[in-house]
A and B are shown apart, each in its own frame.
Chain A
Amino acid sequence: MKPKHLSLLILTLLVVAAPFFFPSGFYYRIGALIFINAIAVTGLVILIGYAGQISLGHAGFAGIGAYACALAPEHLGLPPVAAILLGAALSAALAWLVGRPILRLHGYYLGVATLGLGILISMVLSNEAQWTGGPDGIAVPDLGLRGLLRDLGWRVGAGELWYGLAGLVMILGAWLALNLFDSPTGRALRALHGSEVAARTMGIDVARHKLHAFVVSAVYASVSGSLLALMNRLITPDVAGFMHSVQMVTMAVLGGVGSVLGAIFGATILTALPQLLTVFHQYEHMVLGLVMILVMIFLPDGLLPSLMKRLRGRDGE
């Protein structure tokens, strides 16, 4: 069995098996949040892990996806599913337009440029209150899936439904990202990650491939934002905020930015940890910071890849 299929199998088994260990319905909510974060983080694996480009503004695309689901059904009369696609298309278009100039930058400069993009989107969402409802947020219409299932005689709770739906989308996203890894594009991305000069010498169109990775990851973030909005039925500009961008990158780096499974692992830890730490909530940021520092020092590849390497011994990977 190829590692790709093994990864997908493990992921599917975990998603299906986890509910058997849930002591209460609240865990479906945490599960769904983990999956939604994992979708955005999978996009960052393609951008950061495969192509080696940083983005500190991806929450901006999540914001576009989220507000598309809030605004398109009301103003354009689109069904929420079409709004998800519209949000993704808008995010892709914006990423394509903005990505062309800013992806020429490297390192910190690229970080700052993407950060600016994210902050701009979040400012627009906060300030254009007549459209977006301002900082207090805006209600999001119902996806209608629960009603549809009820009509088919199948009653499911909101928690279970979103757990299943977000889990499905996450597995789909992981499947696409894993496929990309072994494709010619994936190999080109990894080559330019290693050395742009060498990649260019080999005949790889560096600018085009970087842009592709940026656009694809923006679509992942947008879908994640859309799902969050539809699940919560309320969205505020926080979804596009700087902290959310940083959170996404942290999840990717913590779990292991080069591997899809690792990034999902990172999303799981950083989503579940604050729930475990409510007893010490004053120290939550300290603990998160400490975890981050320790991982960076002792497990620089991220938690999962480093652990796998340990388990496999010296000849791993």
Chain B
Amino acid sequence: MNTHKTLALAALLAALGAPAAMAQIRIGATVAETGPAGALGDPEAKTLRLLVEQINAAGGVLGEPLELVLYDDGGDPNNARTFATRLVEHDEVVAIIGGTTTGTSLAIRSVAEEEEIPFISLAGGIEIIDPVQPFTFKTPHTDRMACEKIFEDMQAQGIARIGMISGTDGFGASMRNQCLAVAETYGITVAADESYAPGDADMVPQLTNIRNTEGLQAVLNPGFGAGPAIVTRNYRQLGIELPLYQSHGVAGQAYIDLSGAENAEGVRLPGTALLIADQLAEDDIQRAAVIAYRDAYVGRYNEPVSTFGGYAHDALAILVDAITRNGEAEPDPADLRDAIEATSGLVGTTGIYSFTAEDHLGLDLSAFRLLEIRTGGWTQVQ
């Protein structure tokens, strides 16, 4: 009995204290593979594993293989901070990719800035890179940009009075605030402002309030997960005829499947080139990157690509590009940071990235495409 215990203890200690293998470029990642943000983190983790394998099969970076150290923080910022500390102090990675949610990204950011290790976030919140922090970058569009893209389209349609129904989760609440903040610049009044909790199974009361509000011309639903699909179904059940706008938080096949294709018909939302890979023009600059990633992902996992996996794809592409330009297999973190900041015209699935000292997002609104759901698929609104 005692020997068994000793052996078990020794095995556990060995697992924790396993020494790092050398002569590899170690990249750290902590994403929410499980938990409430699992629908976002899962494709991110799968994408990172797939791409690192692909890169290594093709001879690695600068002739050295990449090693991915990936942890699942479950979307808990406290765990994310612990894993970020572990990546820096114990695993001694050259850079960190991750932070599926804004909360976890902010937790990782404070470690990255303290230890001066480059960090590329996969979350939407504008506060991650505004104000700019020296070592922190991010790949997804901000929620403010999503609002702007939607309001641009509304403005073009002559819509000036809208109703909003937002999730109270981090994503929905943050986007709601950003939309309220920029609505005025587009001449848009938010005349009804409803909300629902992440677990709610029925949004009929809130939508009834919206239906009963006089003079609305469109409805916007910032949220992710199952909520927007329920909103869409209830919206059709109540027979509301106004145009429905969703956020980039539902830019994936799951949303259409959950809502039912007939209910989602005509819904508009901002999305990335990834969702309309086959419809991209032959000369579209993103076409090659998007199709290569999509085919690899679908080929391996046999499930549709989502925007979130695309964010991870772009983060790794930016990092590999920077390591290559920096030219050292054991890059100094400060040099690597400078190399990332010098990224220019890098074609990703989300858009074309060009960082500057003032801009650590490197995307503009042009990379965002306004999509409309037609017969269960995505089409680009011209």
Residues of A at the B interface (CB closer than 8 Å) are 23-27, 29-30, 33, 126-127, 129, 134-137, 139, 158-159, 228, 232-234, 236, 238-239, 274-276, 278-279, 281-282
Contact = CB atoms under 8 A, between A and B. Distances in A.
A234 B110 contact: yes
B90 interface: yes
9 contacts: A26-B90, A29-B85, A33-B78, A135-B103, A135-B173, A136-B102, A232-B81, A275-B16, A276-B16
Contact of B78 (A27, A134, A238, A278): A238
A228 B78 contact: yes
B314 interface: no
B12 interface: yes
A221 to B, nearest CB: 15
Contact of A29 (B76, B89, B101, B110): B89
B170 interface: yes
Given A25-B89, A275-B16, A129 B177 contact: yes
A204 B353 CA distance: 71
B48 interface: no
Given A23-B17, A238-B77, A276-B16, A137 B106 contact: yes
| Chain B: number of interface residues, binned into ranges | 35 or more
Given A26-B88, A159-B85, A238-B103, 5 more contacts: A33-B82, A232-B110, A234-B77, A234-B106, A278-B72
A26 B107 CA distance: 16
Interface in B77-119: 77-79, 81-83, 85-86, 88-90, 101-103, 106-107, 110, 114
Contacts of A278: 71-72, 83
B114 A158 contact: yes
Interface string B150-191: 000000000000000000111001100100000000000000
A129 B173 contact: yes
Q: Which 9 A-B pairs have the closest CB atoms?
A: A26-B89, A135-B170, A26-B90, A25-B89, A281-B72, A29-B85, A24-B90, A136-B102, A136-B170
B76 A30 contact: no
Contacts, number: 85
B15 interface: yes
Contacts of A23: 17, 90
A29 B110 CA distance: 14
B197 to A, nearest CB: 9
Contacts of A26: 85-86, 88-90
B33 interface: yes
Contacts of B134: none
Contacts of A279: 15
Contacts of A274: 79
Contacts of A275: 16, 82, 86
B125 interface: yes
Nearest to B170: A135
B77 A24 contact: no
A29 B88 CA distance: 12
B103 A127 contact: no
Interface string B9-20: 000100111000
B258 to A, nearest CB: 22
A159 to B, nearest CB: 7
Given A127-B168, A136-B125, A159 B77 contact: no
A25 B72 CA distance: 21
A23 B88 CA distance: 13
Contacts of A276: 12, 15-16
A137 B79 CA distance: 14
Contact of A126 (B78, B168, B177): B168
A232 B107 contact: yes
A136 B125 CA distance: 9
Contacts of B170: 134-136
Contacts of A24: 89-90
B126 to A, nearest CB: 11
B242 to A, nearest CB: 27
A238 B73 CA distance: 13
A302 to B, nearest CB: 17
B78 A135 contact: no
B64 to A, nearest CB: 23
Nearest to B172: A135
Given A232-B107, A276-B15, A278-B71, A136 B174 contact: yes
A136 B178 CA distance: 14
B172 to A, nearest CB: 9
A27 B91 CA distance: 12
Contact of B103 (A25, A29, A30, A236): A236
B110 A233 contact: yes
A30 B15 CA distance: 16
A239 B125 CA distance: 20
A33 B85 CA distance: 12
Nearest to A278: B71
B174 A134 contact: yes
Contacts of A232: 77-78, 81, 107, 110
A30 B110 contact: no
Contacts of B17: 23
Nearest to B75: A238
> Which of B76, B114, B125 has the most C-beta atoms of chain A within 10 angstroms of its own C-beta?
B76
Given A238-B78, A278-B71, A135 B169 contact: yes
Contacts of B101: 136
B72 A236 contact: no
A278 B16 CA distance: 9
Interface in B342-372: none
Query: Which of the listed residues A136, A137, A234 has the most CB atoms from chain B within 10 Å of its own CB?
Result: A136
A239 B79 CA distance: 11
A232 to B, nearest CB: 5
Contacts of A238: 76-78, 103
A278 to B, nearest CB: 5
A147 to B, nearest CB: 14
Contacts of A33: 78, 82
B42 to A, nearest CB: 11
A137 B177 CA distance: 14
Interface in B122-152: 125, 127
